Amino acid sequence: MKRQFFLLLLFLTAIGIETAGASTLRLVATTEDLASIAKAVGGDRVQVDFIARGIQDPHFIDPKPSYILKLSKADVLVSVGLGLEDAWLPPLLKGARNARIQPGASGLVVAATGLPLLDVPSGRVDRSEGDVHGAGNPHIWLDPENGHHIAKNIHAALIRVDPSGKAVYAKNLDGFLKKLDRAMVQWKERMRPFKGEKVITYHKSWPYFLGRFGLMAVDYVEPRPGIPPGTTHLQGLIERIKSKNVSVLIVEPYLDGKMTRWIAKQTGITVVTLPPSVSEQTGIRDYFALFEHLTQTLARVFSQEGG
């Protein structure tokens, strides 16, 4: 009896190991936002990791050997694209030497593929213009409607790499899209009273979000993306804040708080620090929590300013 039990245990263990090895994909996302969506679509069939944390500026990530190790084992890589990761992802891919996720491979997902883009330059782009992205603004995830398209792009890649999981991925995708549709109704209703409100943003991270909810960026603290403001620009910015009665300045947590506090002192504008990304470290654990936080925070601030 003991021998039979032992053989059965060995058999079940072997089956479990084989199943885990066959069904679990390794997916690496460049950001926590993409990782959150990938977890929803992949479910238990996908082991998801990421590189850039939500509290970091995704334009500037220090390449580390640990990132190369992650990429060397990945079956799927999900990147934003549009040049967002150009400063650090190519050397990591080169070091990983993983043919499954190189440009053109079936395991590479560029989340922005097929999306309607904002801020696409009409002429030649060079470094004198700052961190202008020649293909368009890369902060695509900040329009929650784009979450539909990003999820579908990830879904297509998972099926390419793991066709046996097609039914599971389709079910997960459907659940994610339906949940997003329900949430969108709530977020739009929450922001509806503030349509047309004017804001200043530090970096040009927010056009997708602002456009979705009917808000208007009057100006930016940076005269050009990634370029620190000089005295002339700041003087003009202060004048525009006062003349246009702008009440809110949006800044990311990793940008210059000292500068925005100075602007607030000169103008009386309310500085609102908003996280532009999912970040488990800040308690914003998934894509839905991100927009709950953003819409709740802005609705509260606009209500206070209006009152």
Does 200 lie in the same domain as 179? no
The gap between the terminal CA atoms of the chain, to the nearest Å, is 78
Does 287 lie in the same domain as 156? no
Q: What is the pLDDT of residue 24?
A: 87
Does 171 lie in the same domain as 93? yes
CB contact set of 159 (below 8 Å; sequence gap of 6+): 165, 166, 169
Does 56 lie in the same domain as 178? yes
Does 171 lie in the same domain as 240? no
Does 144 lie in the same domain as 53? yes
| pLDDT tens figures, 285-306 | 999 999 999 999 999 999 998 7
119 located within any domain: no
154 located within any domain: yes
Does 164 lie in the same domain as 28? yes
Q: What is the pLDDT of residue 22?
A: 45
Q: What is the DSSP letter of 279?
A: B
150 located within any domain: yes
pTM above threshold 0.85: yes
Q: What is the pLDDT of residue 124?
A: 63
Does 20 lie in the same domain as 159? yes
Domain boundary among 185, 201, 228: 185
CA–CA gap between residue 250 and residue 303 (Å, rounded): 16
CA–CA gap between residue 251 and residue 273 (Å, rounded): 5
Residue 85: helix, strand or coil by DSSP?
coil
Regions of the chain with pLDDT less than 70: 1-23, 123-134, 307
CATH code at 98? 3.40.50.1980
Does 211 lie in the same domain as 299? yes
Residues of the domain holding 296: 192-306
CA of 172: how far to CAs of 42, 179, 194, in Å? 7, 11, 34
Closest by CA position to 298, among listed 145, 183, 187: 187
Does 70 lie in the same domain as 181? yes
50: which strand partners? Answer: 29
3 located within any domain: no
Does 211 lie in the same domain as 158? no
The count of other CB atoms within 10 Å of the CB of residue 90 is 12
Q: What sections of 84-206 are H helices per DSSP? A: 89-96, 146-161, 166-191
Burial of 142 from C-beta contacts in 10 A (0-12 / 13-18 / 19+): buried
- Count CA atoms within 13 Å of residue 104 on its CB side: 1
Does 261 lie in the same domain as 167? no
301 located within any domain: yes
120 located within any domain: no
246 located within any domain: yes
Closest by CA position to 80, among listed 264, 205, 255, 267: 205
Domain count across the chain:
2
The count of other CB atoms within 10 Å of the CB of residue 261 is 12
239 located within any domain: yes
Task: Write out the H or E segment, with its range, that includes residue 248.
Answer: strand 248-251
